[in-house]
Structure 1
Amino acid sequence: MAAAMVGHHQEPEGRPWDYLLRTWQELDVPEGWRAEIDEGHIVLAPPPHAHHNGIAAKVQRRLYTNLPDELEIYQTLGVHVTPLDKLYVPDLVVMPAELIDTADSETSDPVDASEALLIVEITSKGNAREDRTKKYRAYARGGVPLYLLIDRFDTRGAMATLFTEPNEDGTYKRSDPVPFGKPLVLPAPFDVTLSTDAFPV
């Protein structure tokens, strides 16, 4: 993961966040890369490993089993964690389709993280710590009700953990970790059991 320093200075007519957001919107990011805003910087992440993509595909396929018609699953969707002025591009985001369908077609504004029903992050070797700590805290502060962390590099062995009941202090009240090979139940509105035994490590 490579960080591009965009700066903390304030433009005469705006806040640092506005400057960072405009810069993010205007970036010409190489195909497959992701640009995120974290700690006042724009961070570029390279394309993930094939196993990472394979897990994302399996999760997405399972989520569609019972997904209500008004919801949709998105990849490469920018989400703004408003309380912290952070912008992340999760591996998968489940949101009401109406929010995306009615978005301004002239801008690439991120959606508010609080509108997400589920965010899924799959760790890569270079970003595992960020997914476990920074993004965990940010999604909790942003009010994301379900955060699914699929961590192939957990020191206990490959794990999938569902975090629920976010607190404003940046923690989740509940966590349900399962090692790869064990089923993980996702509650309503998904009501599916995620099989992790086919996840590549």
Structure 2
Amino acid sequence: MTAISERPQMLPEQFEEFARHLGRTVEGIRLEFINGKLGIKPVPDGDHGRIVQWLLRRCIQARPELYLHDQGLKLEGYRDGRARPDGTLADADAFVGCGDWAPTSGVLMVAEVTSYDSDTDRRDRVEKPRAYAEAGIPVYLLIDRDSAEVVVHSQPDGVRYETVHTLPFGKAVRLPEPVGISLDTEPLKNWVR
């Protein structure tokens, strides 16, 4: 029976068509296809959005040639997955000409901000670090509102991130190369429950 539950629920092409259709009819949801399974991210709350805005501004100030995109990514190495990170740091023109789901080449960092839902542990702390490491994305930044911590994953080896640094909100965080940005995380304390 486990073999059936481990099989993908649908093919990536089917997911893309489903997501394209549903996105036109239901506003405010984000669909993902990770580990062969369909997932729905909750509509971000105002604090979540403010954290993404804060990160966008910090990235642009430190590295004006880059942009924190809201771009869906094809995670080919991870069971043909599709993820829509809260932020994808890449060259400003990295996704020009791409559709809803772009390849990960040129992505320097992905960022996720935890949501207050029952699925965030599995999604943001387990499945996504693995998926992003398998895709070879150099840095995965998790802003964890539940624990009031910033978790920086780096040095992907194709299976997992070899280095993981966890710091409480309020500490200075250095995002390793190729990102090379320092963040003062003190403001994050204002946007947690």
Q: Same fold (TM over 0.5)?
A: yes
Give the structure-2-normalised TM-score.
0.83
The share of aligned pairs that are identical, in percent, is 30
| Deviation for aligned residue 1:174 | 0.9
Provide the C-alpha distance between the structure 2 equivalents of 1:122 and 1:178, rounded to a whole number of angstroms: 15
Runs (5+) with no aligned partner, structure 2? 1-7
Runs (5+) with no aligned partner, structure 1? 1-6, 10-15
The amino acid that maps onto 1:21 is: E
The amino acid that maps onto 1:163 is: H
Superposition pairs for residues 41-120 of structure 1, below 5 Å? 41-69=37-65, 71-75=66-70, 77-84=71-78, 85-103=80-98, 108-120=99-111
Q: Is the 8 A contact 1:67 1:189 kept in 2?
A: no
Q: Is the 8 A contact 1:149 1:160 kept in 2?
A: yes
Q: Is the 8 A contact 2:112 2:141 kept in 1?
A: yes
| Deviation for aligned residue 1:29 | 5.4
2:176 is matched with which residue: 187, 196, 200? Answer: 187
Partner of 2:131: 138
More helix by percentage: 2
RMSD between aligned residues: 2.0
Provide the C-alpha distance between the structure 1 equivalents of 2:69 and 2:125, rounded to a whole number of angstroms: 21
| Deviation for aligned residue 1:42 | 2.8
Question: 1:116-156, CA deviations, whole angstroms, 9 ceiling, x for partnerless residues?
Answer: 111000001214211000001100011010000111113xx
Provide the C-alpha distance between the structure 1 equivalents of 2:181 and 2:94, rounded to a whole number of angstroms: 24
Q: Is the 8 A contact 2:112 2:143 kept in 1?
A: yes
SS in structure 1 opposite 2:94?
A: helix
Q: Where in structure 1 do 4 or more consecutive aligned residues deviate above 4 Å?
A: none
The amino acid that maps onto 1:63 is: C
- Alpha-carbon spacing, 1:190–1:197, altered in 2? closer, same or farther (3 Å): same
- May I ask how many residue pairs the two structures share in their alignment? 179
Bigger Cα displacement from structure 2, 142-151 vs 53-62: 53-62
SS in structure 2 opposite 1:139?
A: helix
Q: Is the 8 A contact 1:65 1:192 kept in 2?
A: no
Bigger Cα displacement from structure 2, 113-122 vs 23-32: 23-32
